[in-house]
Structure 1
Amino acid sequence: MTIAIIGAGMGGLALARVLHVHGIDAVVYEREPARGTRDQGGMLDIHSGQEALREAGLIDQFLAIARGAGQDIRLLEPDGTLLLQEDTLDDAPLLRPEVDRADLRALLLDSIPEHAVRWGHQFDSADNGVLRFVGGGSTTYDLLVGADGANSRVRALVTDARPAHIGHNAVELGIPDIDRTRPDLAAMVGRGNYWVLGDGMSLAAQRNGDGRVRVGLSFYNTAEDWFATSAIPFDDPPAARARLIDLFSGWDARFTELIAACDDTVVPRSISTLPVGLTWPSVPDVTLVGDAAHLMPPVGEGANMALLDGARLGLALAARPHDIPAAVEEYEREMFERTGAAARMSARIQDMLTSPGAARRMLAFFQPG
């Protein structure tokens, strides 16, 4: 088999690793020019994805870099009322540990041969078993796997579906080395996830393994062009923080102080998803994994589904090395069912976040009955 994987994210690398374990070569083509070119983002809550890491023979290495304390939860209302605080015991099982996305990606990259990843290769087009790259160059394939994320270009080879904005716009900020620079805020946020849910807005703070706290501000039921009309001057970080503090006026002063303490990294993010339960007629030589196949609201399922996609596609191909179309069809049948359920659950959580009384609704979700 000649397997070409587009994208060196969680799904594509998990696929390459599981194939490698089973003695099958694959090449990952990544548009980034080098391994450390781009910030990989914050922490990931890895739960069901641990199954994929077991299949990849990496579970022990994963548990060594996972943060059990990242399972801690604090849930508050905008007036400062603490609704829920769950602190993880030191000997608690790692059911939903947090891990730095960059660390997990590094673990996966280090687990496959160096030559299996071709950096600086951006997908341009593919047909009749020929893959072409932007700027020239081509290669052949028996199976092309789109692991190229939310804005996948491979997706168009199997479906006309495109991501649609869901009325959610977010701004990402951060406080570096918070234990040293702001120990008061570090104590407030705690070791894991800190959520303040209001009507139409939320603030989330997440402890990262490198000492940085990532702060996410979400604005729900907003238009796709909301950033253009919000008067947030993203090219002037201090002024952007001041405008964001204005938008959170009326909230407890501790929360706006958290925004004020952030550095000059101020990144707007417009949230889109693919249709819940998306499927397509199986194509013998092309398939998708991860966000390319089932982009969901960012509520903790995406990376887990991507890892499982990669592992299970790898296992299907290993079981049917001489019948790629059958392996693809088997993988897609299971993936559609599994990720459809995850997408429906993610949509329900997103609905809780965007509805009045979000904090109390989320409390009931965490403590049913």
Structure 2
Amino acid sequence: MPSSSTLASSTVDIAVVGGGLSGLVLARTLQEHGVASTVYELDATADARRQGGLLDLHVESGQAALRTAGLYERFRRLTRPQAEAMRVMDKAGTVFIDQAADDGSGEGGRPEIDRTELRALLLDSLHPGRVVWDHKLSRARRLDDGRFELVFADGSRRTADLLIGADGAWSRVRPLVSDASPEYAGISYVDFRVTDAPAKVPASAALVGTGSLFALSDNKNIGGHGGRDLHLGAMLRTPEDWIETRGVDWSDVAAVRACLLAEFADWTPALTDLIRHCDDEITARRVHALPIGHAWPRVPGVTLVGDAAHLMSPFAGEGANAAMYDARELALALIEHGADVESALHQYETAMFPRATDAARKSARGLDLCFADDSPRGLVEFFDRMSAHAAPSH
């Protein structure tokens, strides 16, 4: 079997479309084995836009990817142990689960890290020039010689022997292997933040706590991450066109607040005050997912990782972890098989499809547990079963 040095010394031109977590983990892991790749990212610069809130990285997936990439110790220095706490409550503020944070001294758990800091860690670990900024892919096509041409929004073109789509939900690489498109998952959410919450809304900040919040009732959710600066979402099970038909100018912050307060009118003020006093940057979105079990026949020279391959709802915490693990497994397969790229892609996809299907099922189940007529009962019972299963027997 060819060694990694075969690929490192070959002339295989590897293009990774997308500079999110999966694309950067892939580039970093290949780099660790002397294999060069080029990441094309649509953002103009590393700090062009906010990257999201906290992520909990799982031992078997996200953490494993960082270990393989040689970044685990640096990652641990950036984690926030207090953010591992979790509270599940209803609209009255009645707390059903109050899980304390880990003390931060262990190697396990699901340590929380700011997504922006994790991306910066990955970017800083790459050789200069590895990421090509301000390159939004418009289309990709296979050339007559089997290589790929990438056409970017600015009109520039590049070619590659191996094309990896790490370009997220609305991937421009996906059509090369699959006709599938993301489908509306039934949930609309309005993303908002509360900066310096203990000073602005002390009672609300105390109720939310330092970690994850699930405030659930009546197919609605105010949830996200606590701490000093809260990153939250007001989420509802709605028709797909709710954002357009609700009659709200989403650029009018006062109108958006009024809309949300009407939707959550019978919720405790300790929760609705989070909306009343949130920052002025508010964004309405929809949750989408690819069909569970999304797969494709082997297509020479191209594959997908992360959301491009298996976009799922965020209600099981699997998305980023699955994406990073995809990148790890693809990189290791390429290194193992050397210049035999097709064997590497076959090995990667054969293992990834069932793994992603399992994660997508968990995510869909998590959505249904959070958004139900009698929530949070289902989620509380789920965590109770998990706790019972994990408890040592005597």
1:91 Cα deviation after fit:
4.5
- CA spacing shift, 1:340–1:205, aligned 2, 3 Å: closer
**Which of 181, 199, 202 is the equivalent residue of 1:183?**
202
> 1:188-240: per-residue Cα shift (whole Å, max 9, x none)?
211101211111111114136xx4201211111x1111012223331210221
Alignment partners' CA distance in 2, 1:74 and 1:35: 33
Q: Which residue of 1 aligns with 2:3?
A: none
Alignment partners' CA distance in 2, 1:332 and 1:10: 19
> 1:129-179: per-residue Cα shift (whole Å, max 9, x none)?
122222222222111000000011100000000001111100011111223
Q: Which residue of 1 aligns with 2:141?
A: 126
Are the aligned partners of 2:102 and 2:109 in contact in 1 as well (CA < 8 Å)? Answer: no
- The runs of 4+ residues in structure 1 deviating greater than 4 Å are none
Q: Which residue of 2 aligns with 1:287?
A: 303
Q: Which residue of 2 aligns with 1:53?
A: 66
Alignment partners' CA distance in 2, 1:66 and 1:91: 9
Alignment of structure 1 residues 142-181 onto 2, 5 Å: 142-181=161-200
Q: Which residue of 1 aligns with 2:328?
A: 311
Alignment of structure 1 residues 12-51 onto 2, 5 Å: 12-47=23-58, 48-51=61-64
Are the aligned partners of 1:231 and 1:243 in contact in 2 as well (CA < 8 Å)? Answer: no
Instruction: Output the aligned Cα RMSD.
Output: 1.3
Q: Which residue of 1 aligns with 2:255?
A: 239
Alignment partners' CA distance in 2, 1:139 and 1:263: 41
Alignment partners' CA distance in 2, 1:137 and 1:246: 48
Are the aligned partners of 1:5 and 1:27 in contact in 2 as well (CA < 8 Å)? Answer: yes
Alignment partners' CA distance in 2, 1:231 and 1:183: 32
Q: Which residue of 1 aligns with 2:7?
A: none
- CA spacing shift, 1:205–1:304, aligned 2, 3 Å: closer
Instruction: Say yes or no: does 1:82 pair with 2:102.
Output: no
- CA spacing shift, 1:325–1:89, aligned 2, 3 Å: closer
Instruction: Say yes or no: does 1:329 pair with 2:361.
Output: no
Instruction: Say yes or no: does 1:343 pair with 2:360.
Output: yes
Number of equivalent positions:
366
Q: Which residue of 2 aligns with 1:102?
A: 116
Q: After the TM superposition, which of the residue ranges 230-239 and 284-293 deviates more from structure 2?
A: 230-239
1:17 Cα deviation after fit:
0.4
What's the TM-score, normalizing by structure 1?
0.96
Instruction: Say yes or no: does 1:67 pair with 2:80.
Output: yes
Q: Which residue of 2 aligns with 1:251?
A: 267
**Which of 309, 312, 319 is the equivalent residue of 1:296?**
312
> 1:314-340: per-residue Cα shift (whole Å, max 9, x none)?
010011121111101110111111111
The 3-state SS of whatever aligns with 2:123 is helix
The 3-state SS of whatever aligns with 2:248 is coil
Q: After the TM superposition, which of the residue ranges 10-19 and 350-359 deviates more from structure 2?
A: 350-359
> 1:294-333: per-residue Cα shift (whole Å, max 9, x none)?
0001121100001001111001001112111110111011
Are the aligned partners of 2:89 and 2:214 in contact in 1 as well (CA < 8 Å)? Answer: yes
Alignment partners' CA distance in 2, 1:238 and 1:215: 18
1:115 Cα deviation after fit:
0.6
1:92 Cα deviation after fit:
5.5
Q: Which residue of 1 aligns with 2:222?
A: 203
The 3-state SS of whatever aligns with 1:244 is helix
Structure 2, unpaired ranges of 5+: 1-11, 389-394
The 3-state SS of whatever aligns with 1:65 is coil
Alignment partners' CA distance in 2, 1:183 and 1:166: 34
The 3-state SS of whatever aligns with 2:347 is helix
Alignment partners' CA distance in 1, 2:92 and 2:226: 22
The 3-state SS of whatever aligns with 2:158 is strand
Q: Which residue of 1 aligns with 2:231?
A: 214
Alignment partners' CA distance in 2, 1:89 and 1:104: 20
The AA in structure 1 aligned to 2:229 is R
1:180 Cα deviation after fit:
3.4
Are the aligned partners of 1:232 and 1:244 in contact in 2 as well (CA < 8 Å)? Answer: no
The 3-state SS of whatever aligns with 1:287 is strand
What's the TM-score, normalizing by structure 2?
0.90
